Amino acid sequence: MKIRNGFVSNSSSSSFIVCWNKQPKDAEEVKKILFGDKKKHSYYDNTFKTIDLSKTIFNETHQMTDEELYDMQSEKYYYSGSKWVDVGYKADKDLLNKYEKEMKEAISEKERLIKYLKDEKIQETIKRKVKLSRVDNSDYEISQEEQEILNIKQIIRELDDKIYSEPSELINDSVRKFKEDNKDVFWSHYEFSDNDGSEQCCLEHGEVFSNLKHERFSHH
């Protein structure tokens, strides 16, 4: 499970799912589909030959695997604060509500247990009893109070696993719906980064797939 708090970065990369009517046979066909008769494509101060952009895209074109599709959809599901702020492909509302309820319960219980462990009176009582239980180290046995702390910490770790785990039911449902809705098209996966030069920057931000059905997943 992704819990997003927001951050700033000077570079980025983006992944794309692009649906083609059929697999393009060469760069010229990519150029015709994406750019028509245009010979050049610009993004801010940089201008590129469309055939060069098309060659790069063609070389990256492949049938998207189920694993890639799963990974892409998993990026669409994350939890922020107390609600889902984004959802995957045709997210199932009942499953969303189920995961949201479980998430809230897990976070609330984790916060309650952490607060309990930090309570000054509880800490003083535990420290005093633990100290008394360790007077004779040779015969030392873990105290009931220490065991309670260990049990609580283990519960917190289990809650963390639950909080940060992927909502696999939701992701698999999105993958299934995507495949059903796009079974007659060829879909491919691409990833471009503006940290890899001006051409990659154009491919990431320059709307080169605007003529085709596609989804973009931004990574910052």
Residue 2 lies in a domain: no
Look up the domain containing 39 and give its range: 7-77+171-219
Predicted structure pTM score? 0.70
Both 109 and 148 in one domain: the answer is yes
pLDDT of residue 138: 53
pLDDT of residue 220: 64
What's the mean pLDDT when you consider all of the chain?
86
Among candidate residues 165, 182, 203, the one where a domain is terminated: 165
Residue 87 lies in a domain: no
Tens-place pLDDT, residues 12-40: 889 999 999 999 999 999 999 999 999 99
pLDDT of residue 49: 96
Both 108 and 159 in one domain: the answer is yes
Residue 90 lies in a domain: no
Tens-place pLDDT, residues 69-124: 999 888 888 887 777 777 889 999 999 999 989 999 999 999 999 998 888 777 77
Contacts of 77 (CB under 8 A, 6+ apart): 1, 2, 84, 86, 87, 88, 91, 166, 167, 170, 171
Tens-place pLDDT, residues 190-208: 999 988 899 999 999 999 9
Both 39 and 64 in one domain: the answer is yes
Residue 25 lies in a domain: yes
